[in-house]
Amino acid sequence: MTLHPDTATARHALPSYLDPNRLGPWGIFLQQVDRVTPYLGSLARWVETLKRPKRILVVDVPIHMDDGTIAHFEGYRVQHNTSRGPGKGGVRFHQDVTLSEVMALAAWMSIKNAAVNVPFGGAKGGVRVDPKQLSLGELERMTRRYTSEIGLIIGPTKDIPAPDVNTNERVMAWMMDTYSMNVGETVTGVVTGKPISLGGSLGRREATGRGVFTVGAEAARRIGLDIAGARLAVQGFGNVGGIAAKLFAEAGARVVAVQDHGGCVYREAGLDVPALLDHVKRHGGVAGFEGAEALDRDQFWDVPCDVLIPAALEQQITRENAHRVTARLIIEGANGPTTPDADDILRERGVLVVPDVVANAGGVIVSYFEWVQDFSSYFWSEEEINERLIRIMKGALNAVWQVAEDKGVSLRTATFIVACERILRARDLRGLYP
């Protein structure tokens, strides 16, 4: 029987929410997959797997507000790929979260987990809410209802959430408790990034920043850039940017500029990073920090620097500002901060980009350690954790560096080659069910 042409086309048509022509993070991920496909050999027959998330759950999250009204928030959990193991990825609370963004973040988790070879697939979650507008009680109710709603598909062997933008240890404790209440037993391994006293891991809070520092210092060494005295500009001064800046400063770098959601501060001789961290803790952002010049937020991109660390949100380095970047080295602390157009411009200009899927993998590596420790109920020392983290991060960077040199491609494409081969080989070996 021959199919009607329309039926044949429809059979391969992507669902509307996967439309590659739509701009946004998911469109960027699809472009990244297209770039790597020619290098995948016979595994390329499975590449469509990567272009379609395995499972998408959109949930309504209604809660009682303190003033007696009822508010509804939109929540998501996306499991992009589970060929290599359970889904793993953070939960983001942000007013601009979209399904496209969560899909892309889940996909980047699949790539990242495969790139550093931890036995997880990729997942991500989010709620479209500005948590700064909620009281503590409202935040807790929202977290618990969201956890119950996605409880259908998460679990320690199914999909394990973790912190991301605007979520932290306290939120993870509520998530763990809610899941445990619903299943009738304490299940510490359902989330990572928990407080130490609830089965969290030493070193988890600092892990992503430490990983950014580890691969950043190694990449700098490889291009002959001395970290001692190097000028650093950091966008985003939360968990990732704040810790990375602190470690670079301790290694002798000068953190000359920091931009966050509310401002930008600059000091040519180097900012006092511990004092700035303290200021952010007290005031919620870098704006108003004394002992630094205040810049317009947009001036951040023109600041003379050697190393740039985007550690805030996606799509920050674009074709509009990529020409303005003065750094020789970009270490992506955030997920998806550089668009493919900007990648090309930076490569032409000789700027080395250490991609997110390697650079910020420290968090998920120590999350993996936390999950293993929870299963065995045996906890490791911080020295052991940091030593294993550094070994895996350096090993992953060295491996993708070699592929980049051998194939003459960017570090990002090299990382996608390594990761997609691992994911699609697993897919191929497992075969299709039924």
- Residue 231 phi/psi, 5-degree rounding, is -95, 130
- Asked if residues 81 and 50 have their Cβ atoms less than 8 Å apart, the reply is yes
CA dihedral 344, 413, 35, 321 (to 10 degrees): -20
What is the nearest approach in angstroms of ligand NAD to the Cβ of residue 197? Answer: 19
Instruction: Single out the segment in contact with ligand NAD by CB under 6 A; choices: 45-53, 66-74, 151-159, 160-168.
Output: 160-168
Each as own residue / partner, the long-range contacts of residues 40-43 (CB below 8 Å, 24 or more positions apart, any chain) are 40/417, 40/420, 40/421, 40/424, 43/420, 43/421, 43/424, 43/425, 43/428
**Site residues for ligand NAD, window 307-346 (CB under 6 A)?**
311-313, 333-335
Q: 86 or 193: whose CB is closer to ligand NAD? A: 193
What is the nearest approach in angstroms of ligand NAD to the Cβ of residue 233? Answer: 12
- Asked if residues 367 and 211 have their Cβ atoms less than 8 Å apart, the reply is no
Instruction: Single out the segment in contact with ligand NAD by CB under 6 A; choices: 138-146, 223-231, 235-243, 406-414.
Output: 235-243
> How wide is the angle at C-alpha 292 spanned by C-alphas 289 and 295, nearest 5°?
90
* Distance of alpha carbon 367 from alpha carbon 356, whole angstroms: 17
Q: DSSP characters for 224-235?
A: T--STT-EEEEE
Catalytic, out of 88, 112, 124, 194: 124
Pairing of strands 122-128, 70-81: antiparallel
- Pair of tokens at residue 10: 């429809």
Q: Is 281 a catalytic residue?
A: no
Q: 255 or 313: whose CB is closer to ligand NAD? A: 313
Q: 96 or 293: whose CB is closer to ligand NAD? A: 96
Find the helix or strand (DSSP H, E) in which 75 lies. strand 70-81
Q: 40 or 127: whose CB is closer to ligand NAD? A: 127
Asked whether position 235 contacts ligand NAD by CB under 6 A, the answer is: yes
* Distance of alpha carbon 283 from alpha carbon 288, whole angstroms: 9
What is the nearest approach in angstroms of ligand NAD to the Cβ of residue 310? Answer: 8
User: Could you say which of 101, 138, 140, 164 contacts ligand NAD (CB under 6 A)?
Assistant: 164
Q: 262 or 395: whose CB is closer to ligand NAD? A: 262
Instruction: Single out the segment in contact with ligand NAD by CB under 6 A; choices: 144-152, 176-184, 233-241, 267-275.
Output: 233-241
Asked whether position 159 contacts ligand NAD by CB under 6 A, the answer is: no
Instruction: Single out the segment in contact with ligand NAD by CB under 6 A; choices: 38-46, 71-79, 162-170, 388-396.
Output: 162-170
Binding site for ligand NAD (CB under 6 A): 163-166, 208, 235-241, 259-261, 285, 311-313, 333-335, 360, 363
State the catalytic residues: 124
